[in-house]
Chain A
Amino acid sequence: MESNGSPELQKSSKKRKGTSSQNPKSSVLKQKSPAEFFAENKNIAGFDNPGKSLYTTVRELVENSLDSAESISELPWIEITIEEISKTKFNAMIGLIDRERVDEELYDDFETVKAREKRLAKEARDQEIQAKNIAHGKKIKETSKSTKSRGDASFFRVTCKDNGKGMPHEDIPNMFGRVLSGTKYGLKQTRGKFGLGAKMALIWSKMSTGLPIEILSSMRGQNYVSFCRLDIDIHRNIPHVHIHEKRENKEEWHGAEIQVIIEGNWTTYRSKILHYMRQMAVITPYAQFLFKLISDMADKNVTIHFARRTDVMPPVPVETKHHPSAVDLLLIKRLIAETSKQNLLQFLQHEFVNIRKSYAERLIGEMGSDFSPKMAVKSLSSQQVVRIHQLFRQAKFADPSGDCLSPAGEYNLRLGIIKELHPDMVATYAGSPQVFEGHPFLIEAGVSLGGKDVKQGLNIFRFANRIPLLFEQGADVVTRTAAKINWSCYKINQSQDKIGVFVSIVSTKIPFKGTGKEYIGADINEIVSAVKTSIQQCCIQLKTKIVKKLQARERLERKRNLTRYIPDASRAIYGVMKEIAKSRDSKQRQYNEKEEEILNKVSCREITEPIIKEKLTHYVEQVDYEMALEYAAQSGVSEEPREDIYISALEGAPKFLDLHHPVCVFRLFL
């Protein structure tokens, strides 16, 4: 897709060449707008190929919507629709007439005579096999998938509608048409970071389809809906507005609806997108998602509703100040430029966390004689700033508190797991805040056993700042750590059991590895040990449950297992006795009276194999009964703690009927 952007680029560079340099061979100093940079390096933002672009578009839109709804403490309600657009339809949309191919051999997918013969032969063979299978009554798999040729791009209209904050009418063009402008800068835990998401989708749509983005937005209490159709001027990194108007708001709706038409690939990224939605539903059980795929073929359509399971929302993450040990030189300079504080003492005290007044005075004293508490902070020389930076690196500061973090919450994580996986057992654990390079982080973990759509072995679910991570799983800290845990210690069979491992990391700065924010390296000891403890804590909880379950099962199966061996044992015993009875020499007194008595009974068939069997069976039953009584007496009638159930609130004021009783009142909603 690089080629799409390049003709324009060449044009612009030619223009510059003409003015700046006479020599075409010498290298030309070019400048790039941020939008241009990202258009050329779209893999940084997760737009590697059409399939992944579709995935990333969905993901960015959903995350924006969640942020938007959470920022006004509204339970999120998000509707995602992906509509497949056929080429004919697409051409009609952009006003291009469908042309029939005239010169067939011109095209890449042209089939030569030889290739056609080969294909026909193969199809005939396949049909034969299928016919045979039918004759044998075997189930046939749908193999006849229409394989799309390479030139056939598929286009998708992605629509995301939410009930969030919406956007101010005037800001809409800038919010979408300017890369690296955003509301999420600053030091706090956020899902997005670069202010790229929706803009990258727009750049991608411009690169692949050339169609503009459409935005509908309304804020709370606004009596109108803003409608905006715009695209982006990549070279100048400014929005290019087609329509920007106010429309009537009939439903008192607030939120945003964003529609973008892009090239994509549903077949290859289907499972990734669905996994993403499912994992998102796990980590945000308080949100409601409606996911729809609409295509021309009815059997391809997908509609999934991820229901809300709780109305407890994590608090909105608060913006925090920088920790002295996490700042760099540039950041100190920026803070100095931006601060409203006059002198150095106030600056240190108010622009950083964990520096109290007395501590700030000590720090200034340590900086040297050319520093004083009352000196104007803006007058600091660059050498002096370096000195401050060095001191920050060396001095000891209390760890930042985790107050600014907004974890999903152990309760929510648990609900999410139960809601989406229906596991047999689940345990969750929330760690306490810890620090890595001056940034607080907090780890929550869950371990589940069994459930639907879970494969045998380890199933890793990773979340960073409450977004699922799906790619680069092998190198991730969670995968590596989970693989190292000795599961058999906790009576869990790593290869047989369906183990779900859920780890959510929240931080003001997640230490992602690589350019795509896809995984966290396993080389950060603080995080590795925190992840390990959290998973182990879950396992310890599970172990007691598993042991209890095993005991109960053992109790149930004891009788069966014991009874299974009765025939073998009694046959062997009787076999020996019969042999003795047959071969004994009555003259030699080799056996005592009791033994003789038994042998005599064996001889006259008073003791037979069935009798021994019966006696053993009887004894087993008796012992089993006694042990069962003992077990019941020991364990009592205690049961597992019950899970709370969540019944979603009814909307509006429905009709109801009260059934009165001296003890209570039943309200029956009609």
Chain B
Amino acid sequence: MADRKRKRPVKADSDSEEASSSKGALAFKKRLKPDEQILNSITELRAAQKEKPQSLSLSDLNLGIACREVVDLESTSVRLAIEHTILSIAASILAGNGFSYQVPSRNNSNQLYVPELDRIVLKDKSSSRQFVNLSTVRKATITTRILQLVHQLSIKQIHVTKRDLFYTDVKLFQDQSQSDSILDDVSCMLGCTRSSLNVVASEKGVVVGRLIFSDNGDRIDCTRMGVGGKAIPPNIDRVSDMESDAHFILLVEKDAAFMRLAEDRFYNRFPCVIVTAKGQPDVATRLFLKKMKVELKLPVLALVDSDPYGLKILSVYMCGSKNMSYDSSNLTTPDIKWLGIRPTDLDKYKIPEQCRLPMTEQDVKTGKDLLEEEFVKKNPGWVEELGIMVKSRQKAEIQALSSFGFQYLSEVYLPLKIQQKDWL
């Protein structure tokens, strides 16, 4: 609430002071206070967040509906779980009854958003995957094959990528999306996280800034990673001993903005850790962010595009995706602050018309659908922003700020936003 009160006078000044946009950009710069004062606002946020009680777990709530959650399991437990499954279907076959799996359903109707936890969880509906059914025979066979492959991994205690897994039996899997989807089914069925199956996705996320951690025993200093940053290890087990003198974590949607901030050494001016997953976040990046947030207890600020997809990506970090909802407790990072670029910023920062794009029908529809989602509704600030976006039918990317100069983002926009505590 305090933020919103502050917002109004700012808007009023900006209207009176600036006439043209180029002048405006300069005027915004003038308004910046010394860096120490700017950082103070972050420190306040950090202090406020520390006071908050620890987040609840599913078992703390007495939900009427049974929910399914998975846990990290040791390789041996995974191995045993697979062995019991296989032996039981073998017994069924030998008894002349064919075989079938009970696979938890991961479709839309089986998802539930729990407002208390602020994330999506999986209900416990499951479906039978029979071998003697034309519609499921393929999936049942692939499931069996994946079980065998994961069994081998658990015995040998090695990690492979999803792509590796796919290539072990291309003829049967046909398409990587099929083996990937069954892999999620298997982890859901065995009740363990996907990382416990020793199958990882290839590296996607990047991190740079005031962070030091051990990757498989090697000490990594993320301030000495050049402009490209350190790739986030696909296997979170390798990451340990995190240390940092950062004041906050900055989550960036896009690679381009990440590169700008890294090259400008934004993290040296304002001590922070910068993370991006280059679009939709993968499991490793989400796990990494969660780990940083839990171990370093830093506030997370997000910088995404001002379009429905930016918000959607933010929601995946915060509440989890429907596809991976069974593991949402490990994957979601609650309490991420939406720093920018927000629809109100378009006018507030006088982003010129030529940098704004009209929203397509599809965009507007996605925006309207988002307005119906629970995780948006519970945050009135978000509803307001999204409402403005859908109403104005305009979107803008982070790069729109480059119209005031390429470094405007790191030198003016972000510091000013932080100084004004302009996050939601």
Chain A residues at the B interface, C-beta cutoff of 8 Å: 554, 558, 561-562, 565, 568-570, 572-573, 575-577, 579-580, 583, 590-591, 594-595, 598-599, 607, 611-612, 615-616, 618-620, 623
Instruction: Determine if A595 and B94 form an interchain contact, defined as CB atoms under 8 angstroms apart.
Output: no
Q: Which of B82, B86, B132, B172 contacts A562 (CB 8 A)?
A: B132
> Judging by beta carbons under 8 Å apart, are B93 and A562 in contact?
no
Beta-carbon contacts under 8 Å, B2-17 to A: none
Residue from B82, B91, B98, B172 in contact with A576 in the complex, judged by beta carbons closer than 8 Å: B82
The reply to whether A562 and B152 form a contact with Cβ atoms under 8 Å apart is no
Q: How far is the CA of A583 from the CA of B131 in the complex (A)?
A: 28
B43 at the interface (CB under 8 A from A): no
- Smallest Cβ distance from A614 to chain B, in angstroms? 10
Having A569-B145, A583-B155, A598-B87, one finds 10 other A-B pairs with CB under 8 Å, namely: A569-B140, A577-B86, A577-B87, A590-B83, A591-B83, A594-B91, A595-B84, A607-B94, A616-B131, A619-B132
Bound CA–CA A186/B23 (angstroms) = 79
Is the CB–CB distance between B137 and A573 below 8 Å? no
CB distance from B16 to the nearest CB of A (A): 55
Contact yes or no, A573 B93, CB < 8 A:
yes
B97–A619 touching, CB < 8 Å: yes
Contact between B90 and A573 (Cβ–Cβ < 8 Å)? yes
The answer to whether B148 and A598 have CB atoms under 8 Å apart is no
What is the CB-to-nearest-CB distance from A583 to chain B, in angstroms, rounded to a whole number? Answer: 7
Which single member of A569, A595, A618, A620 contacts B141 (CB below 8 Å)? A569
How many Å lie between the Cα of A618 and that of B132 in the bound state?
Answer: 11
Mask of B91-120 contacts with A, CB within 8 angstroms, 1/0: 101101110000000000000000000000
Contact B83 A598 (CB under 8 A): no
- Chosen A-B contacts, 6 in total, with CB atoms closer than 8 Å, are A561-B137, A562-B137, A568-B141, A568-B145, A569-B145, A620-B131
Q: A568, A591, A594, A616: which contacts B93 (Cβ < 8 A)?
A: A616
**Option from A558, A570, A607 in Cβ contact (under 8 Å) with B134:** A558
Q: Say yes or no: A572-B145 contact (C-beta < 8 A), given A580-B83, A580-B87, A616-B93.
A: yes
Q: Which residues of A contact B87 (CB under 8 A)?
A: 577, 580, 591, 594-595, 598-599
For residue B395, CB closer than 8 A to chain A, the reply is no
The 5 A-B residue pairs with the shortest CB-CB distance, nearest first, are A572-B148, A565-B141, A619-B98, A572-B144, A576-B86
Q: Which of B80, B93, B134, B151 contacts A615 (CB 8 A)?
A: B93
Chain A residues with CB below 8 A from B138, complex form: 565
Query: How many angstroms between the C-alpha atoms of A576 and B145 in the bound complex?
Result: 10
Interface majority SS on B: helix, strand, loop or mixed? helix
Does B89 lie at the interface of the complex (its beta carbon under 8 Å from any beta carbon of A)?
yes
Q: In the complex the two chains form, is A573's CB within 8 Å of B86's CB?
A: yes
A558 to B136, CA, bound (A): 12
B94 to A615, Cβ gap below 8 A?
Answer: yes
Among A576, A590, A611, A618, find the residue whose CB has the most chain B CB atoms closer than 10 A: A576
Which among A565, A599, A611, A618 is the interface contact of B137 at CB below 8 angstroms?
A565
B121 interface residue per 8 A CB criterion: no
Closest CB in chain B relative to A85 CB, distance in Å: 62
The reply to whether A565 and B86 contact each other, CB–CB distance below 8 Å, is: no
Q: Which residue of B lies closest to A577 (CB)?
A: B90
B residues adjacent to A (C-beta < 8 A): 80, 82-84, 86-87, 89-91, 93-94, 96-98, 131-132, 134, 137-138, 140-141, 144-145, 147-148, 151-152, 155, 172
Question: CA–CA, A183 to B258, complex, Å?
Answer: 83
CB-based contact A579/B155 at 8 Å? yes
- CB contact under 8 A between A618 and B96, given known A562-B134, A562-B137: yes
Contact B147 A572 (CB under 8 A): yes
| B98:A568 contact, CB within 8 angstroms | no
> B86, A620: Cβ atoms under 8 Å?
no
Q: Shortest CB–CB separation between residue B307 and chain A, in angstroms? A: 30
User: Which B residues are in CB contact (< 8 Å) with A577?
Assistant: 86-87, 90
Q: Which residue of A lies closest to B132 (CB)?
A: A623
Distance in Å: Cβ of A110 to nearest Cβ of chain B? 62
Contact A619 B90 (CB under 8 A): no
Residue from B90, B91, B97 having most chain A Cβ neighbours under 10 A? B90
Q: Given the complex, which residues of A lie within 8 Å of B140, measured CB to CB?
A: 565, 569
Distance, CA A49 to CA B298, complexed state (A)? 82
Q: Please report the C-alpha to C-alpha distance between residue A615 and residue B141 in the assembled complex, in whole angstroms.
A: 15
Whether the pair A620, B132 counts as a contact (CB closer than 8 A) is yes
> CA A607 – CA B93 in complex, angstroms?
11
CB-based contact A579/B152 at 8 Å: yes
Query: Which residue of the partner chain, among A561, A562, A612, contacts B90 with CB atoms under 8 Å?
Result: A612
* Complex contacts, A612 vs chain B, CB 8 Å: 90, 93-94
Inter-chain CA distance A553–B140, complex, in Å, is 22
Cβ of B80 and Cβ of A590 under 8 Å apart? yes
Asked if B134 and A568 sit within 8 Å, CB to CB, the answer is: no
Q: B48 → chain A, closest Cβ, in Å?
A: 50
- Contact yes or no, B131 A569, CB < 8 A: yes
Instruction: Report yes or no: B90 in contact with A598, Cβ–Cβ below 8 A.
Output: yes
Task: Report if A620-B98 is in contact (Cβ < 8 Å); known contacts: A569-B140, A591-B87.
Answer: yes
B84: which A residues are within 8 A, CB to CB? 591, 595
Closest to B94 in A: A615
Q: Which residue of B lies closest to A595 (CB)?
A: B87
A317 and B132 CA atoms in complex are apart in Å by 61
| Residue with the highest number of chain B CB atoms closer than 10 Å, among A562, A565, A569, A583 | A569
Alpha-carbon separation in the docked complex, A511 to B137 (Å)? 56
The residues of A that contact B148 with a CB separation of less than 8 Å are: 572-573, 575-576
Once the chains are docked, how many angstroms separate the CA of A570 from the CA of B140? Answer: 11
- Nearest Cβ distance between residue B167 and chain A, in whole angstroms? 16
Closest A residue to B82 using CB positions: A576
Give the contacting residue for B147; candidates A576, A591, A619; CB below 8 A.
Answer: A576
Considering the complex, give the chain A residue whose CB is closest to the CB of B142: A568
In the bound complex, CA of A565 to CA of B144 (Å): 11
- Taking the nearest CB of chain B, how far is it from the CB of A580, in angstroms? 5
Residue contact B132 to A573, C-beta cutoff 8 Å:
no
Chain A residue numbers with a CB within 8 Å of B96 are 615, 618-619
Complex Cα–Cα for A573 and B99 (A): 11
B130 closest partner in A (C-beta): A623
* Chain A residues near B89 (CB-CB < 8 A): 573
* Residues of chain B with a CB closer than 8 A to A590's CB: 80, 83
Interface centre among B80, B89, B131, B172 (most CB of A within 10 A): B131
Q: How far is the CB of A348 from chain B (nearest CB, A)?
A: 53
- Determine how close the nearest CB of chain B comes to the CB of A193; give it in whole angstroms: 45
Return the contact of B83 from the options A562, A576, A619 (Cβ within 8 A). Answer: A576
Which of chain B's residues have a CB closer than 8 A to the CB of A591? 83-84, 87
Residues B134 and A554 in contact, CB atoms below 8 Å apart: yes
A554 and B137 CA atoms in complex are apart in Å by 14
Residue of B91, B93, B151 ringed by the most chain A CB atoms within 10 A: B93
Complex formed: what's the CA distance from A607 to B90 in Å? 10
CA of A611 to CA of B96 in the docked complex: distance in angstroms?
11
A616 to B92, CA, bound (A): 10
Contact residue among A573, A580, A618, A619 (Cβ-Cβ distance under 8 Å from B144): A573
Q: How far is the CA of A580 from the CA of B144 in the complex (A)?
A: 15
In the complex, the chain A residue whose C-beta lies closest to that of B86 is: A576
Contacts of B141 in A (CB 8 A): 565, 568-569, 572
Measured in the bound complex, the distance between the Cα atoms of B96 and A612 in whole Å is 10
Residue of A nearest to B89 (CB): A573
- State in angstroms the CA–CA spacing of A113 and B82 once bound together: 85
User: A619, B93: Cβ atoms under 8 Å?
Assistant: yes
Residues on A with C-beta less than 8 A from B86 are 573, 576-577, 580
- Distance in angstroms from A622 CB to nearest chain B CB is 8
CB proximity of B415 to chain A, nearest CB, Å: 54
B220 to chain A, nearest CB (A): 36
Closest Cβ–Cβ distance, residue B222 to chain A (whole Å): 41
Contacts of A616 in B (CB 8 A): 93, 98, 131
Q: Complex: how many Å from CA A558 to CA B172?
A: 18
Closest to B151 in A: A576
Q: In the complex, A88→B84 CA distance in Å?
A: 94
Q: How far is the CB of B169 from chain A (nearest CB, A)?
A: 8
Measured CB to CB, the closest approach of chain B to A569, in angstroms, equals 5
Output the nearest chain B residue to A623 by Cβ-Cβ distance: B132
- Collect the chain B residues with CB atoms within 8 Å of residue A611's CB: 94
CB distance from A610 to the nearest CB of B (A): 13
